[in-house]
Amino acid sequence: MLCLDTSSSMAGAPVQTLINALMEWTRELHDDVSLSYRVEVAVITFGGQGVGAWRGPQLLDPRAPVSPFVPAHLFRPPRLTAAGVTLMTEALELSMHIAAARKAELRASGLQHYRPQICLVTDGLPTDGTGHLTDSWHRLIPVLAEEQRARRFRLYATGVGGITDMGEQVLQAFAPKFHARLQGFPFRELLQMMSASANAEQGTACGS
């Protein structure tokens, strides 16, 4: 699951770099026999359209009971735009909810699944709906700690662009073991890291 910041600070070259990386990564996924039929992809964005879940290129109606997860060999990337505020807390909460719901669907079908991988990518700090900085993200810390301790998913929290020291501290609080602060917008490398992580995760099925 890709949880992507598409707020106004990502406008221009950063979001175009992200779009290009998603397109190239999609081609690589389709060509990767070990992943293309064994992995599903979902995209969550937080920005001008609030928090949105994408099923491939389609932005889902939040009232529709449709999972955004798409088999990798059928995945097509959304055409993203950047605007608005940084509802990072709400986006992570939606990501956790969708991952849990998809695991429940698979279990109900008698299918095993691997531990979900959530990749949070941002260049800023969490805000509220009016664009003001907020400390509401603190409520996620114990939840994320327990969920990851129970191996219900693995969260990668990555700061890009000009993320501040305070922004990095938020990401470290979210994912103490798997956080990073990177120069620029190396989205291609981040996506390739997700592919490598998914490949490695296939060694063990997850039951929780």
Chain segment 75-125, per-residue pLDDT in tens? 999 999 999 999 999 999 999 999 999 999 999 999 988 899 999 999 999
How far apart CA 27 and CA 132 sit, in angstroms, is 38
Domain hosting residue 151, numbered range: 2-201
pLDDT in tens, 147-192: 999 999 999 999 999 999 999 999 999 999 999 999 999 999 999 9
Number of structural domains the chain divides into: 1
- 206 inside domain: no
Write the CATH number for 173.
Answer: 3.40.50.410
Q: Does a structural domain hold residue 13?
A: yes
Asked whether residue 20 is domain-assigned, the answer is yes
Classify residue 208: in a domain, yes or no.
no
Q: Residue 174: which residues within 8 A CB-CB, separation 6 or more?
A: 92, 120, 137, 140, 141, 144, 155, 157
Which residue do the tokens 């807390």 mark?
89
Q: Can you give the pTM of this predicted structure? A: 0.94
* Sole residue written with tokens 């890009």: 160
